[in-house]
Amino acid sequence: MSFPNSVTIDSINPKVLQCEYAVRGAIVNQAQKLQEEIKENPGSHPFDEILYCNIGNPQSLGQQPITFFREVLALCDHPVILDKSETQGLFSADSIERAWQILDQMPGRATGAYSHSQGVKCLRDAVAAGIAARDGFPADPNDIFLTDGASPAVHMMMQLLISSEKDGVLCPIPQYPLYSASIALHGGSLVPYYLDEATGWGLEVSELKKQLEDAKSKGITVRSLVVINPGNPTGQVLAEENQRAIVEFCKKENLVLLADEVYQENVYVEDKSFHSFKKVARSMGYGEKDISLVSFQSVSKGYHGECGKRGGYMEVTGFSPEVREQIYKVASVNLCSNISGQILASLVMNPPKVGDESFESYSAEKNGILSSLARRAKALEDAFNNLEGVTCNKAEGAMYLFPRIHLSQKAIKAAETAKTAPDAFYAKRLLEATGIVVVPGSGFGQVPGTWHIRCTILPQEEKIPAIITRLTDFHQAFMAEFRD
Specify the DSSP element, H or E, that contains 312.
strand 312-317
CB of 52 within 8 A of CB of 454?
no
CB of 106 within 8 A of CB of 113?
yes
- In sequence order, the β-bridge partners of residue 442 are none
CA angle 185, 188, 192 (to 5 degrees): 110
- Tell me which residue of 468, 457, 440 sits closest to 61, measured CA to CA: 457
DSSP-based three-state secondary structure for 420: coil
CB of 358 within 8 A of CB of 92?
yes
Distances (CA, A) of 179 to 155, 225, 227, 417: 9, 11, 11, 31
CA distance 438 to 395: 16
CB of 115 within 8 A of CB of 336?
yes
DSSP-based three-state secondary structure for 55: coil
CATH 3.90.1150.10 fits 14-62+364-482, yes or no: yes
- Distance from the first to the final alpha carbon of the chain: 45
Written as one letter, the residue type at 123 is L
Domain ranges of the chain: 14-62+364-482, 72-112, 114-349
Report pLDDT for 361. 93
Report pLDDT for 24. 58
CATH 3.40.640.10 fits 114-349, yes or no: yes
CB of 51 within 8 A of CB of 463?
yes
DSSP-based three-state secondary structure for 298: strand
Give start and end residues of each alpha helix (H) in 195-236: 205-217
CA distance 418 to 441: 17
Q: For residue 287, which phi and psi values (nearest 5 degrees)?
A: -115, -160
- Tell me which residue of 24, 19, 13, 14 sits closest to 182, measured CA to CA: 19
CA distance 268 to 106: 38
CA distance 438 to 459: 12
Radius of gyration, CA atoms only, the chain: 23
CA distance 381 to 235: 11
Report pLDDT for 19. 53
pLDDT tens for the chain, residues 1 to 484: 666 666 666 665 666 666 565 555 777 888 888 888 888 888 777 788 888 888 778 877 788 999 999 999 999 988 788 788 887 778 888 998 899 999 988 877 777 776 777 888 999 999 999 999 999 999 999 999 999 888 888 888 888 888 888 988 999 999 887 888 888 888 888 999 999 998 888 889 999 999 999 999 999 999 999 999 998 889 899 999 999 999 999 999 999 999 999 999 999 988 899 999 999 999 999 998 999 999 999 998 888 888 888 889 999 999 888 888 888 888 877 787 788 889 999 999 999 999 889 999 999 999 999 999 999 999 999 999 999 999 999 989 888 999 999 999 999 999 989 888 899 999 999 998 998 899 888 888 888 889 999 998 888 898 899 889 999 999 999 999 988 7
Which numeric CATH code is attached to 72-112? Answer: 1.10.287.1970
